[in-house]
Chains A and B, each alone.
Chain A
Amino acid sequence: MRWKPSYLILGTALFAFAWVVTRACVQAISIDEATTYLGYVQYATPDHWRVNSNNHVLNSGLMRLVTSLFGLSAFTIRMPAVIGAGLYVWAAVRWCKLASTQWFVQWPLLLCLVYNPFVFDYLVAARGYGMAVAFLMLALVNAAEWLYQPLERRRSLEAMCGISSVCLALSFASNFSFAFVDAAALIGLLSMVWVQRTSAMRLIGMLAIPGVAVIYATVWWTARHFGQGELWYGAATIGESLGSLLDATLYQLNPDLANPQLLPLFAALRPFLLPMLLLSALAIGSLTWARKEWRPKFAAVLALIAVAAFGMHWLGHQYMGLLLPKDRTGLYIVTLLTAAAGMLAGVPALSISARAARIALLGTMFALGLYFVMCLRLNHFKEWPWNANADKVYARLACMNHEHVVRYVSSVWMQEAVLNVYRLSSGHETLAKIIDLREERAGTEVWVTNYLFDQPLMAEKGLKIIYHDETEATIAVTPELAARMEASVCLQFPQ
């Protein structure tokens, strides 16, 4: 009989996906998304094969397809990421099914896997991270389902290996920073199916050939020309690396969702949540390891894949000067360890100590899940909060173009690419390409600046501020233009 998720799981998963779609529609474009579009998608030439750390080939290729079909908008450039989000949520639901049949295990696991603000940001952002983590998790859950299903319900070994191999290749094609973890996952899969007593060559062939074919057809050229000079984003120490993952995971409760009575409670709980999760997971793992139970072993495989990938990074760091994973480039560590904790939470407890550990683990997962739900947000990414109001800034520039024939605008680097993408997507303005404010251009009347950093520049040029918001985005204009705009409709936008 086919497994049907409960209404609770289905509702939670659908709500998460609906939230992703909503964010993709309403959230202003961020600098990295805009740079990706301008660098690898915008032009007729196939720039999505170009070698650059900001170019996530599969994502850029799909962005090109989607924007060619549906035009340019915040939603269309995020559509590949939204597809990745759909796949990730589907994979997460399958993990929940695998972990347990009990709702009180499935539900917190789903919350922790999907609603984690770190993960959620990249399910929306038009980068390759969401797709990469989705394909990674699909590859692993596909193998796990095959391994732990009754023999009569299994599909063929070839099919399982083929699907997982293709998924891992697509994960790599989506984002090169997943290279080590994809390789570690492939080795993990190989070791798990080794016990099927198929010939080694056949097994390696089944796991390697489909993936290699996908890579050859897609990112082979780009990967071959990828130089170490591109790898400039990362952490210099293990502490910095892990700290960035913890910070992103527990980023900012939303005061719209967490009520004022709960905010201090969650703030007090915050430092204890992840250590509690780790300790209780280790406890239940060690207490149930000796039993004939597959979940602790599979949890160990997941954790080992994460550790092995991190280990490869560390070796690269030690001997080749590679930087360690930082924030988004370590996204897989969070999802793999969460899935491992979920597997352990699903282990039935047979002793008092195991029961206590399980209750502690489930309690922590519930608290963490609730914390993550309270972190849901609509308007910005953790990494690029300064772009939260970029659409509003552009609306004002567009108004100034229509009402006061402003054509030349300079901008701080934080907003430049974003405003150019809005300029291209609108198509109704006669604004010239927006350039960096350090470049001089005759006829420039408007500067989009950052209030905190660019005060000296505004003072030097004698600019007058006509707009300033909570992200510190500022629009400053020449005194002559300010005089022309005294009673302008562009100054009276409803907030």
Chain B
Amino acid sequence: MMDRDQRILAATAVFAMAWVIARAYVQAITIDEATTYALFVQNSAPFHWLGSSNNHVLNTALMRLTTRVFGVSEWSVRLPALLGAAIYIGACLRLCRRFNCGLPFTWALLVCLIYNPFIMDFLVAARGYGLALGFLMAGLVADHKRLASCAVASACIGLAFAANFSFAIACGTVLAARFVWSWSERTHPLLKLLAAYALPAIAVTLLIPLPALLSFPTQELWYGSRSLPEMLDGFYISSLFQLNEHVIGPKLHAVMLLNQRWFYPALGVTFAAWAAYAIRNKLGRPELTRMAAVAGGAAAAAFLIHWTAFLAFGLLLPKERTGIFFVPLAFAAVGAVGAIPPVSRVGRWLRTAFVAALLTVAVNNIASMRLMYFREWNWNEEGKQVYTVLNCLHEKHHINSVASGWPFVSVLNFYRQTATRDTFAAVPDTINNPEHVEVYVLETVLNPDLIEPKHLKVMWHGDATKAAIALPPEQLAALESSACWEIPH
């Protein structure tokens, strides 16, 4: 690749990392992040070894470290996820550089791997998905010939599993596919290769996630899809979620919104046509076809195992984030096939159509970039503003008793932890049966039946969400005219 192309790819990756860091800094904490912090990080006892579907051991342990070192803030709890993001982006950049087949294609592929809104959300969120994605991709792209690199790949895949148990099957299939790839080269004795692929992953598993694995309550595996369409729909919707009007102009926004549902089908059709042509004409470089086989084979095997487990044991299929690994694996396979150079005019046309579809998806991804919320927990976008108002009420009017429902309880309690000075009392999840409540924090969509029967008056309402702060009648006289309601959103 030319130096200029390399620089453009590197700049694209660096910008993505900067965007992820900016999001980690400005975005309000969400319910799942705050719950992870409250349950497994905050306590002085080492609760990060406990088995629970919400505890992603490696991520939780690192959150514990970063919050002890830097204090509690949105940024410090997301630092492990940022580490995962850096590893993931670096691995994707390495993969795309390896394909070495024209800037439009490699750039579009890189954008599809990194800027996909589904992926980008989890490169920021303080959960284990970002770390797991990073280590899985690092394991996938590591060199398959040198024994030391095979051992590093194995350790990375072990760490991906330690970061998130929902990657278990994908980790197994990627490790197996890589082993077959290395073995097929016949550069090392079988036993040495087996040891290089098995021992580091086993050592990592023994050192990090073993206790959580042994104490994992199987009844907690309640999150998942109950059918194939539901599973695929989850990926589809997440990957196409919400074009950002701030990023693209109104005209393009309207055009893209109208045609968005065709982007992935078009990519699928053009890719299938190109792949069929390449297979029929026996095109391809060995390293590309093998990478396609490893990534595609690992994704297909992971899907088949999940499907079998669903049919045989009722284990739910991956849903949205729990199947996030399918996205980079699929794009790695697609990229490896797409990087094959065409040899005829028909081939050039087919490939051009495929690259155009890939570029369209890439543009869609860039047009969906956002700063302020995650798709899955968008109702928490204004959690910090809610806390600011409540804290003002506490400081100015000595409000101490706040009632809230599940969308806000852990978020508000998280912000209480970040306070360096006195703040209001811990918020219980008692919005329907509260006792002596001075202020209500509610979601006007989820709690519409609460406002009228209790004669609540909504004093503050979020701009972007349905978050609201309401007062019971007995507090109106004292608080209605407070300056706290005027705090800028």
B19 to chain A, nearest CB (A): 26
B69-105 CB contact bits vs A (8 Å, 1 = yes)? 1000000000000000000000000000000000000
Residues of B with C-beta under 8 A to A379: 68
Query: B208's contact among A26, A259, A260, A489, by CB below 8 Å, is which?
Result: A259
Residue of A nearest to B45 (CB): A255
- Are B211 and A261 within 8 A (Cβ)? yes
- Are A494 and B416 within 8 A (Cβ)? yes
- Are A489 and B421 within 8 A (Cβ)? yes
Residues of B with C-beta under 8 A to A494: 416-417, 419-420, 423
Residue of A nearest to B421 (CB): A489
- Are A256 and B422 within 8 A (Cβ)? no
A14 to chain B, nearest CB (A): 15
How many residues does chain B have at the interface if contact means C-beta atoms less than 8 Å apart? 22
A256 and B61 contact, Cβ closer than 8 Å, known pairs A261-B214, A262-B207, A489-B422: yes
**Which residues between 469 and 493 of chain A lie within 8 Å of chain B, taking CB atoms?**
470, 489, 492-493
A256 and B46 contact, Cβ closer than 8 Å, known pairs A261-B210, A494-B417, A494-B419: yes
Contact of B373 with A by CB under 8 A: no
Contact of A367 with B by CB under 8 A: no
B109 to chain A, nearest CB (A): 27
- Are B49 and A260 within 8 A (Cβ)? yes
Residue of B nearest to A470 (CB): B44
A401 to chain B, nearest CB (A): 15
Query: B69's contact among A256, A262, A378, A493, by CB below 8 Å, is which?
Result: A378
Residues of A with C-beta under 8 A to B370: none
Residues of B with C-beta under 8 A to A489: 421-422
Contact of B257 with A by CB under 8 A: no
B203 to chain A, nearest CB (A): 9
A259-270 CB contact bits vs B (8 Å, 1 = yes)? 111100000000
Residue of B nearest to A489 (CB): B422
Query: B46's contact among A255, A261, A470, A493, by CB below 8 Å, is which?
Result: A255
User: How far, in whole Å, are A26 and B76 apart by their CA atoms in the complex?
Assistant: 15
**Which residues between 434 and 472 of chain B lie within 8 Å of chain A, taking CB atoms?**
none
How many residues does chain A have at the interface if contact means C-beta atoms less than 8 Å apart? 16
User: How far, in whole Å, are A26 and B61 apart by their CA atoms in the complex?
Assistant: 18
- Are A26 and B69 within 8 A (Cβ)? yes
Contact of A22 with B by CB under 8 A: yes
A26 and B422 contact, Cβ closer than 8 Å, known pairs A256-B61, A494-B416: no
A379 to chain B, nearest CB (A): 8
Residues of B with C-beta under 8 A to A493: 422
B47-61 CB contact bits vs A (8 Å, 1 = yes)? 011000000000001
Query: B211's contact among A259, A378, A470, by CB below 8 Å, is which?
Result: A259
Residues of A with C-beta under 8 A to B1: none
User: How far, in whole Å, are A22 and B69 apart by their CA atoms in the complex?
Assistant: 7
Contact of B144 with A by CB under 8 A: no
A239-264 CB contact bits vs B (8 Å, 1 = yes)? 00000000000000001100111100
A274-310 CB contact bits vs B (8 Å, 1 = yes)? 0000000000000000000000000000000000000
Contact of B178 with A by CB under 8 A: no
User: How far, in whole Å, are A25 and B210 apart by their CA atoms in the complex?
Assistant: 32
User: How far, in whole Å, are A379 and B65 apart by their CA atoms in the complex?
Assistant: 11
Residues of B with C-beta under 8 A to A25: 69
- Are B49 and A259 within 8 A (Cβ)? yes
- Are A378 and B49 within 8 A (Cβ)? no
Residues of A with C-beta under 8 A to B417: 494
Residue of B nearest to A22 (CB): B69
Residue of B nearest to A6 (CB): B148
B28-64 CB contact bits vs A (8 Å, 1 = yes)? 0000000000000000101011000000000001001
Query: Which B residues are within 8 Å of any A CB, using their own CB?
Result: 44, 46, 48-49, 61, 64-65, 68-69, 206-208, 210-211, 214, 416-417, 419-423
Given contacts A22-B69, A489-B422, A493-B422, 12 further A-B contacts (CB under 8 A): A25-B69, A256-B46, A256-B48, A256-B61, A259-B207, A260-B211, A261-B211, A262-B206, A262-B207, A378-B69, A492-B422, A494-B423
Query: Which A residues are within 8 Å of any B CB, using their own CB?
Result: 22, 25-26, 255-256, 259-262, 378-379, 470, 489, 492-494
In the complex, 17 of the A-B residue pairs with CB atoms within 8 angstroms, ordered by the A residue number, are A25-B69, A255-B46, A256-B46, A259-B210, A259-B211, A260-B49, A261-B206, A262-B206, A378-B65, A489-B422, A492-B422, A493-B422, A494-B416, A494-B417, A494-B419, A494-B420, A494-B423
